[in-house]
Amino acid sequence: MKEFSISEKFRLEIHWSRSIYDREGIAKLDGCYLSGPVIKEVAQMNEEDRMKLDFSNQYLVFVPYFYIATLYWKGIRRVSDKIHLDNVLLTNDNLNAVPKLNDNDYIVIDTKDHEDEKHQYSLVYPSYLIRFDGEKYDFRGK
């Protein structure tokens, strides 16, 4: 999958144990944590913050324009090679128009443009929804 090529150095993954859709445009992610090689490089994170995840390339088949979801959290703790996030919400007005997240899916983020000297110029993180078996979802139905 050439279009999904991410340097391992910049790979960040978001995992969860359960996704809950009980309000329009919001998915709650229980048991959420960040992992991947880039965790070693992550500086201090805010206890309450958000990230803009750009799924545009993958979800273009569902929405006629860019698709950027916001991942919010309130509470963090670092445990060895993972950063656990509490009170996590994934939001976007079109969240119910795209396939729902399965509990064994995960998100891979390319953080290459978010090193300290570049971060201020990159407002979003290129992101991909991955199946339980490590394959990127191909929603075009090839």
- pLDDT tens column, 106-134: 999 988 765 555 545 567 889 999 999 98
Interval 7-27 mean pLDDT: 90
3 within a domain of the structure (yes/no): no
Q: Let me know if residue 137 belongs to a domain.
A: no
Domain-embedded: residue 87:
yes
For the four alpha carbons of 5, 77, 88 and 101, in that order, the dihedral sign comes to positive
With H, G, I as helix, E, B as strand and everything else as coil, classify residue 109.
strand
Region 84-101: what's the mean pLDDT? Answer: 91
Could you tell me if residue 5 is inside a domain?
no
Residue/partner pairs of 74-77 with CB below 8 Å, 24 or more apart:
74/47, 74/48, 75/47, 75/48, 76/45, 76/46, 76/47
pTM of the model: 0.87
Mean pLDDT, residues 72-76: 97
* Structural domain includes residue 12: no
Residue 142 within any structural domain of the chain? no
Structural domain of 75: 19-130
Whether 13 maps to a domain, the answer reads: no
For the chain, the domain total comes to: 1
